[in-house]
Homo-oligomer: A and B are copies of this chain.
């Protein structure tokens, strides 16, 4: 049994809490949040202890592992503290919006020798995992082209967007990680064009809501990403990988399998309303991977280095938005 503490009792913290409580190898010990009431409510729901003291939450005598689901600006500090306590860590992405800060925190964690995972949860989607395994096994030969679609149903609040780091750091970054994971390669260059089509005020932050990215992998394979914030018809993700001997696709998910036949048309169930409905099962799967990796003494993935690499791509892509040219990506 691994004794866990959870940092952060907000929306996603509550999701993690339920998964921690249900996992057969997890002893869900405590919930930390700066908001006492919120911590107490969530802890009570799952028979855990609430605390507003970080030191207590990260006490290595009481816990073995920590799940960092607090606000983004606290991730790096929490990671350092957890590393100092020698705890295993699952950290919500990003480690820090600032790549330099993130890199330092990751190095610190590495120097303490802890096991740490960045929660790029899409890697634990059933379909994506099947696709990745097929590609990596050589089933479609050499990768030649990867297409990734990332489309959200509606614009997040401006208050969130203002501190998000921009569409490429906030939204596309998941798909940079997927491209690396699927291909097993670090992209060498990236080009981005973007537009403000939905919310004119985004331009004030130098941000965009609709963007298209092209990446080149070592060896010449290409990656195409489209990234939009508001599509109206639901939450839409898909992946397609073209190889030298075949193609494999993880199709859009539908909410059900009901078809209605009418004159001239057939109506089928649509997409999920939001990312959470689509991706909910991946959180439990990511936790399960982490715990079993601890138990079997296997490496946990995606690693902090994976988190930094995806951020490095986002930096170059964001630069390309304003230069209009393909930018080389430098990994630290």
Contacts and interface: CB of A to CB of B under 8 A. Distances in A.
A193 B326 contact: yes
Contacts of A245: 232
A242 interface: yes
A261 interface: yes
A41 interface: no
B212 A222 contact: yes
Interface in A127-176: 127, 130-131, 134, 139-140, 142, 144-145, 147, 151
A251 B258 contact: yes
A144 B197 contact: yes
A249 interface: yes
Interface residues of A, number: 73
A220 B212 contact: no
Interface stretch (A54-62, A262-270, A285-293, A311-319): A262-270
A107 interface: no
Interface stretch (A73-81, A82-90, A223-231): A223-231
Contacts of A244: 197-198, 232
A246 B127 CA distance: 24
A325 interface: yes
A270 B266 CA distance: 5
Contacts of A216: 193, 195
A131 B269 CA distance: 11
Contacts of A269: 130, 264-266
A195 B196 CA distance: 30
A243 to B, nearest CB: 9
B259 A249 contact: yes
A205 to B, nearest CB: 16
B197 A224 contact: no
A255 B271 CA distance: 17
Nearest to A247: B261
Contact of A246 (B147, B196, B226, B233): B233
B210 A220 contact: yes
Contact of A228 (B145, B220, B254): B145
Interface string A178-198: 000000000001010111111
A15 interface: no
A190 B298 CA distance: 46
A214 interface: yes
A213 B224 CA distance: 9
Given A212-B145, A325-B324, A326-B324, A247 B260 contact: yes
A217 B86 CA distance: 53
A15 to B, nearest CB: 15
A189 B268 CA distance: 33
A221 interface: yes
13 contacts: A145-B212, A197-B221, A211-B222, A212-B223, A228-B242, A233-B262, A246-B261, A248-B258, A252-B257, A261-B270, A265-B269, A266-B271, A324-B325
Interface of A: 22, 126-127, 130-131, 134, 139-140, 142, 144-145, 147, 151, 189, 191, 193-198, 210-214, 216, 220-224, 226, 228, 231-234, 236, 242, 244-271, 273, 323-326
